[in-house]
C-alpha cells in the first residue's frame, strides 16, 4: 500500500496495525512469563515509545499471573542533525521514581546504532536496580555500532527510515497507527 502523505513525501506501509498488535502481544506474553506475579517498573522513553508503552502495559495487564506494573518515563534526544543519531545523547527528562532494588524494564521504540539505548541502560544500571532489561518494538540489527542487550524484540525492520506508531520525522507522522517507510523526493530517504 502506498499513501501520499504530503506533496513531496511518500510513505509505504511496512507493518500494519494488526502486525504491530500481534508483536506487542507476543512481547507481553514473554515478559509476563519472566516476571510472573512480581512488581515491574516500566520505564518508557519519550516520545517515540509512548504507544509501545501504552499498548504493552495494557497487554501485560491482560495476562493472568503477569507482573504488577508501574510506569515511569524518561526523555532523551541526540545532538546533531535531526535524522542522524549522533551518539551524543542528552537527557531531557529523568525518571521520577527511584529504581534502586527494583525490577526495571526499559521500553524503547527502535534500536538503530544502539547508542541511545546504551546511554539509557548505562545510566539506569548505575542506580542499582535489582534487575534491568530492555524491550524494543523495532530492531535494525545490521546498523548497530555498540552491542546493547535486547531482551524482548517485537519486529525486525528493513533498512529504511520508518515513521508512525510513535516514530517521527521532524516531529511529524508519530500519530499514524501503522509503521511506514518514509521516502523523500530528492534524497530518497532521510539519512539515519
Interface with ligand IMP (CB under 6 A): 48, 85, 108-117, 161-163, 167, 192
Judge whether 147 counts as a catalytic residue.
Answer: no
Q: Are strands 39-46 and 2-4 parallel, antiparallel or unpaired?
A: unpaired
139, interface contact from ligand IMP, Mg ion, none, CB < 5-8 Å by kind: none
User: What CA–CA distance (Å, rounded) separates 53 from 170?
Assistant: 21
Measured CA to CA in angstroms, residue 141 lies from 35, 80, 87 at distances of 26, 22, 16
User: What CA–CA distance (Å, rounded) separates 61 from 141?
Assistant: 29
- CB distance 150 to 114 below 8 Å: no
Exposed e or buried b per residue across 49-58, where buried means at least 16 C-beta atoms within 10 angstroms of its C-beta: bbbbbebbbe
C-beta closer to ligand IMP: residue 35 or 119: 119
> From residue 84 to residue 113, what is the string marking binding to Mg ion with x (rule CB under 5 A)?
-------------------------x----
Size of the residue set binding Mg ion (CB under 5 A): 2
Q: Which of 55, 103, 112, 139 is catalytic?
A: 112
190 is a contact residue toward Mg ion (CB under 5 A)? no
Q: Give me the residue whose beta carbon is nearest to Mg ion.
A: 48
Minimum CB–partner distance for residue 154 and Mg ion (Å): 14
Residue ranges in 36-75 that form contacts with Mg ion under rule CB under 5 A: 48
Exposed e or buried b per residue across 99-108, where buried means at least 16 C-beta atoms within 10 angstroms of its C-beta: beebbbbbbb
Minimum CB–partner distance for residue 47 and Mg ion (Å): 7
C-beta closer to ligand IMP: residue 84 or 128: 84
Catalytic machinery residues: 112
Amino acid at each position: 500500500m502506498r499513501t501520499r502523505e504530503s506533496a513531496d513525501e511518500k510513505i509505504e506501509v511496512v507493518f500494519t496495525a494488526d502486525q504491530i498488535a500481534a508483536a506487542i502481544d507476543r512481547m507481553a506474553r514473554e515478559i509476563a512469563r519472566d516476571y510472573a506475579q512480581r512488581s515491574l517498573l516500566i520505564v518508557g522513553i519519550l516520545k517515540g515509545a509512548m504507544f509501545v508503552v501504552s499498548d504493552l502495559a495494557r497487554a501485560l495487564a491482560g495476562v493472568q499471573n503477569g507482573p504488577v506494573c508501574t510506569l515511569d518515563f524518561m526523555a532523551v534526544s541526540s545532538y546533531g542533525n535531526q535524522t542522524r543519531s549522533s551518539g551524543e545523547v542528552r537527557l531531557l527528562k529523568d525518571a521520577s521514581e527511584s529504581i534502586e532494588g527494583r525490577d526495571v524494564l526499559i521500553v524503547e521504540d527502535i534500536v538503530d546504532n544502539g547508542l541511545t539505548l546504551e546511554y539509557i541502560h548505562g545510566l539506569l544500571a548505575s542506580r542499582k536496580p535489582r534487575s534491568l532489561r530492555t524491550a524494543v518494538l523495532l530492531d535494525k540489527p545490521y546498523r548497530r555500532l555498540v552491542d546493547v542487550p535486547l531482551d524482548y524484540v517485537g519486529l525486525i525492520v528493513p533498512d529504511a527510515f520508518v515513521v508512525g506508531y510513535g516514530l517521527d520525522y521532524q516531529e511529524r507522522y508519530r500519530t499514524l497507527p501503522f509503521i511506514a517507510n518514509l521516502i523523500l523526493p530528492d534524497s530518497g530517504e532521510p539519512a539515519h
